[in-house]
Amino acid sequence: MTATREAGNRISFARVAREAGVSTWFVYNQPAVKAAVRDAMSDQAHHGLEAAAAPRPERTTPASLHTDLAFAREEIQDLKRERDELKRRVQLALGAEIDNVAQADLVSRIQDLEHRNRVLAADLSEARAQVERLAEQHREAEETVASLRLALRKAIRPVR
Of the pLDDT bands very low, low, confident and very high (cuts 50, 70, 90), residue 1 is low
Which spans in the chain are helix H?
A: 2-6, 13-20, 24-29, 31-46, 62-159
Domain membership of residue 42 (yes or no) is yes
* Average pLDDT of the chain to the nearest whole number: 85
State residue 55's pLDDT score. Answer: 46
Instruction: Report the domain count for the chain.
Output: 1
Stated pTM of the model: 0.34
Among candidate residues 14, 3, 21, the one with its CA nearest the CA of residue 37: 14
Assess whether pLDDT exceeds 80 at residue 80.
Answer: yes
Domain membership of residue 103 (yes or no) is no
Per-residue pLDDT, averaged over 134-152, amounts to 95
Distance CA 91, CA 111 (A): 30
Among candidate residues 87, 123, 9, the one with its CA nearest the CA of residue 18: 9
Q: Which domain holds residue 16?
A: 1-54
Domain membership of residue 5 (yes or no) is yes
Domain membership of residue 109 (yes or no) is no
Domain membership of residue 100 (yes or no) is no
Domain membership of residue 9 (yes or no) is yes
Per-residue pLDDT, averaged over 83-95, amounts to 93
Among candidate residues 7, 95, 112, 100, the one with its CA nearest the CA of residue 50: 7
State residue 61's pLDDT score. Answer: 83
| End-to-end alpha carbon distance in the chain | 131
Domain membership of residue 112 (yes or no) is no
Per-residue pLDDT, averaged over 65-73, amounts to 89
Domain membership of residue 137 (yes or no) is no
Of the pLDDT bands very low, low, confident and very high (cuts 50, 70, 90), residue 5 is low
State residue 91's pLDDT score. Answer: 92
Distance CA 38, CA 74 (A): 29
Of the pLDDT bands very low, low, confident and very high (cuts 50, 70, 90), residue 149 is very high
Distance CA 57, CA 62 (A): 11
pLDDT digits (tens, 9 = 90+) for 17-50: 888 888 888 888 888 888 988 888 888 877 766 5
Percent of the chain whose pLDDT exceeds 90? 40
State residue 45's pLDDT score. Answer: 79
